[in-house]
Amino acid sequence: MTTRHLIDRLGGLAFGGDYNPEQWDEPVWKEDDELMRRARVNLATVGVFSWALLEPEEGRYDFSWLDAHLDRLHANGVAVDLATPTASPPPWFTLAHPDAMPVAPDGARLTHGSRDTYCLAAPAYRDATVRIATALAERYGGHPAVAMWHVHNEYATLCWCDHTAAAFRDWLHARHGSLEALNEAWGTAFWSQRYAAWDQVLPPRSTQWHRNPGQALDFRRFWSDTVLAAYREQRDAIRAHSDRPVTTNMMLPGYQNLDLWALGREVDLVSIDHYPSAPGLDAAADTAFGADRARSFAGGRPWLLMEQGTSTVYDRDRILGKEPSEILRHTLGHIARGSEGALFFQWRQSRAGAEQWHSAMLPHAGADSRIFREVQAVGEAVARLGELAGSTVTAQVAVLHDSDAWWALEVDGLPSADLDYHGTLRRAHRALWDAGVTVDFAHPGHDLSRYRLVVAPALFLLSDAGAANLLRYVADGGTLLVQYFNGFVDDRLHARLGGYPAMPLREALGIRVEEPRPLRRDERIVLSDGTHGTVWSESLRTEGAEASVTYTHGMLAGKPALTRHRFGAGRGCYLSTHLDDPGYAALIARLLDEAGVGPESPGLRPGVETVTRQAPDGRRWQFVLNHRADAVRLPEPALDLLTGRPADELPPGGCAVLLRY
């Protein structure tokens, strides 16, 4: 099943959110119907947390209340994204299956009272999830209200229990083939960690000091595969009774213990939840970061923003409101990057319960409120963009992302505590976003030939195949920027011997890194061009590359900090420190220039974002989002789909979707 089904069904883009009517009663449902019409809601996610109502006791189902809500929504013109409720097992489940409650690394077993409390490796839990998914699919597989399926919610819970240990051993057996190979891969010859029998092997539970890095990395891989298997079981149970597309919502940017490339291949439609925690321009950049990742995980196909908030979520210790017009700009920031609409968590703010202070489309204050009026305006705007459904976005630049590299950078015992996988990726994306270019994410093993510039900010782990692929990319004419502590280990976390990064990538870069030299916390070093480095430095020598910037102090004085190398038809650049913001922005600008990539819309001031969606028949729509506090003139005025009138200027915080065909 493809997105086309959803697009045809909605006749445009999706607008709506999580709808939890079980919290309310008849008069409120009536009001919901009316207000959903006013807000132009056409898709509601129903049932995400409804397990206790759907199956009040093990094996006894009650669908009557859900029948009534689906019929009501359908009669009101609202299609349903029907969820399986498995992210929140009811209290009876804990009592019947205490062994299916998750265990923390220190051995503490959790219990119900919150949500997401289950062990994906526990057979009782997996069986229960397939049973309820099957029961829902049998009943609603062909229901006219159901436009798509939403399996589970944000698979995230990890577990270290005995079920997990048994499943982990099976997984390790399949991956390594023998205990000997596992010992070799994990380097157990050191610290007397050698395993003499499979039942000695455990998940990485609490222990005295550094945990074995190979064990930690394999556990993350194993857990990702466990999640995918659990998702597939429910998806297939649904597919047996329904032809509607199936998804599960990804949590971005990085707190999900999952290989999102792999998940992207399993779902009919990639869907993401995105909640920027910082306000202002940072929130807009974060929106782009999340949306560009979603589109990339979807393999360039359309995807869906499943959840966002009308306020930010916790920014450390508080919920910060969005400024007027920010809800629209965030919504359009996602749609501009290929989302087939915009949904929120949740439709109506809870009166009681755990997320009582979480924002919603309809706040406690009711319809007579700024937030609901903005939501109505956003619904109106989304409705006007219906003709964009199914169109896509292309990028000439990619940032490389690999979950193996992410997980590798989280093991114990690394040379610096300041290495931050997602922070480093975000920074590369932000510099490109500030430069006004549209960015894809790609895996180091993907075909990169369509990109003029590829940035590899944090591939500490790089497989042999990845290194060979990057070499090929440069040889064939690409421009590649590799940043420090890249390609230092292979996919077993074994150090590359004889110099870093991995061969044959080193050939494309024309360098050999001999010694990593992490910097002290807050240490700043001066480089020959006046920029500064923090976090990290490296002693490296050129092997064909030219040093364009050097270190100026200490034992690295005069040695290369930034190098460039012509290789084949392309260019490989290596940056061996964490450059300061202006220095990094200037480097990215230079590389873009050399790679022949210009901003989406030249001549626009900083803080004005542009992205273009295009249809296969050549139609193009240019989104222009003014995140500035002053008005901006548009260099090339055109008809604005949001107003139906020509636009030549945007007010502070204003947006336009310009027809470019």
Judging by DSSP bridges, how do beta strands 249-251 and 397-400 pair with one another? unpaired
Q: For residues 306 and 271, is the Cβ–Cβ distance under 8 A? A: yes
Q: Is 164 exposed, middle or buried (0-12, 13-18, 19+ CB in 10 A)?
A: buried
Comparing C-alpha atoms, which of 49, 33, 31 is closest to residue 132?
Answer: 49
Q: Give 388-437 as a DSSP string.
A: GTT-B---SEEEE--HHHHHHTTSTT-S-TT--HHHHHHHHHHHHHHTT-
Selected binder of ligand GAL within 273, 340, 609, 640 (CB under 6 A): 273
Q: Which of 398, 378, 372 is nearest to 330 (CA)?
A: 378
Peptide bond into 501 cis (omega under 30): yes
Q: How many residues bind ligand GAL (CB under 6 A)?
A: 11
Q: Minimum Å distance from CB 129 to ligand GAL?
A: 17
In DSSP terms, 610 is beta-bridged to: 624
Name the DSSP class of 644.
Answer: T
CA–CA gap between residue 368 and residue 534 (Å, rounded):
50
Task: Name the residue with the smallest CB distance to ligand GAL.
Answer: 345
Nearer of residues 275 and 536 to ligand GAL, judged by Cβ: 275
In the complex, what is the shortest distance from the CB of residue 442 to ligand GAL, in angstroms, rounded to a whole number? 26
* Distance (Å, whole) CA 502 – CA 36: 56
List C-alpha distances in Å: 457 to 105, 426, 429, 523, 637. 31, 9, 10, 21, 37
- Active-site hit among 31, 184, 307, 514: 307
Half-sphere exposure of 193 (CA within 13 A, CB side): 20
Residues 91, 441: Cα–Cα separation, whole Å:
41
Interacting positions 519-558 with ligand GAL (CB under 6 A): none
- Report phi then psi at 554, rounded to 5: 65, -155
Restricted to residues 562-581, the positions that interact with ligand GAL (CB under 6 A) are none
By the rule CB under 6 A, 248 interacts with ligand GAL: no
* Rounded-to-integer distance, Cα 535 and Cα 515, Å: 15
Instruction: For ligand GAL, give the closer residue by CB, 266 or 355.
Output: 355
* Identified catalytic residue from 154, 326, 340, 609: 154
Residue 355 touching ligand GAL (CB under 6 A): yes
Which DSSP helix (H) or strand (E) runs through 75? helix 64-75
Site of tokens 């436009």: 147
Per-residue x/- track, 356-385, ligand GAL (CB under 6 A)? --x---------------------------
CA 93 → CA 51, 65, 107, 511, distances in Å? Answer: 10, 21, 20, 58
- Told to check if 434 binds ligand GAL by CB under 6 A, we report no
Site string for ligand GAL, 139-168 (x = CB under 6 A): --------------xx--------------
Strand partners, 560: 550
Least Å distance, CB 491 to ligand GAL, is 31
Beta bridge partners of 575: 483, 562
Instruction: Report DSSP state, residue 210.
Output: P
Residues 580-599 within binding reach of ligand GAL (CB under 6 A): none
Taking the least distance from each CB to ligand GAL, the nearer of 272 and 561 is 272
Distance CA 325, CA 375 (A): 10
Q: Which of residues 297-316 bind ligand GAL (CB under 6 A)?
A: 307, 309, 313
Q: Smallest gap, in angstroms, from Cβ of residue 306 to ligand GAL?
A: 8
> Which residue shows structure tokens 């062994």?
99
Q: With beta carbons less than 8 A apart as the criterion, state whether 379 and 15 touch.
A: yes
Instruction: Evaluate whether 190 touches 184 at the Cβ level (below 8 Å).
Output: no
Supply the minimum distance, in Å, between the C-beta of residue 451 and ligand GAL: 31
Helix, strand, coil content of the chain in percent (nearest 5): 35, 25, 40
- Strands, DSSP E only, in 322-396? 339-344
Listing DSSP states for 225-250 in one string gives HHHHHHHHHHHHHHHTT--S-EE-EE
Which whole-number Å values give the CA distances from 3 to 17, 148, 167, 267, 444, in the listed order?
Answer: 18, 9, 34, 10, 27
Q: How far is the CB of 514 from ligand GAL (least distance, A)?
A: 45
Residue 154 annotated as catalytic: yes
Confirm whether 307 is a catalytic residue: yes
Please list, in sequence order, all residues whose beta carbon lies within 8 angstroms of the beta carbon of residue 75, skipping any fewer than 6 positions away. Answer: none
**What's the closest the beta carbon of residue 136 comes to ligand GAL, in angstroms?**
18
Closest CA to 655 of 603, 608, 613: 608
Report in angstroms how near the CB of residue 47 gets to ligand GAL at its nearest: 12
Provide the binding-site residues for ligand GAL, judged by CB under 6 A.
Answer: 153-154, 251, 273, 275, 307, 309, 313, 345, 355, 358
The residues carrying an active-site annotation are: 154, 307
